[in-house]
């Protein structure tokens, strides 16, 4: 199953599901739209090319 298909399946039971192909777009989106106490999940079968670390750093700065 590809990412877009997985997002569509998850979206059937959870309203706010997004699939983003571009790493920088994803980090920017998460940094701008994540609220305190939200849960962010990365799913994949390979490395995340620094996205997790970038997102954590950005959110940590935002919520200090």
Looking at residue 25, its pLDDT comes to: 92
- What are the pLDDT digits (tens) for 24-40? 898 999 999 999 888 88
Widest CA span of the chain, in angstroms? 38
Would the pTM of this model clear 0.85, i.e. be above it?
A: no
Is residue 27 within 8 Å of residue 51, measured between CB atoms? Answer: yes
Is residue 7 within 8 Å of residue 19, measured between CB atoms? Answer: yes
Counting DSSP H helices and E strands in the chain, the numbers are: 3, 0
pLDDT (mean) for 50-60:
89
User: Shortest CA distance to 27 belongs to which of 53, 51, 62, 50?
Assistant: 51
The CA distance from 51 to 27, in Å, is: 7
């Amino acid at each position: 199953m590809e990412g877009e298909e997985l997002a569509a399946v998850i979206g059937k039971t959870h309203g706010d599901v997004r699939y983003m192909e571009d790493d920088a777009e994803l980090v920017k989106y998460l940094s701008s739209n994540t609220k305190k106490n939200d849960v962010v999940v990365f799913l994949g079968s390979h490395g995340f090319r620094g996205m997790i670390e970038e997102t954590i750093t950005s959110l940590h700065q935002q919520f200090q």
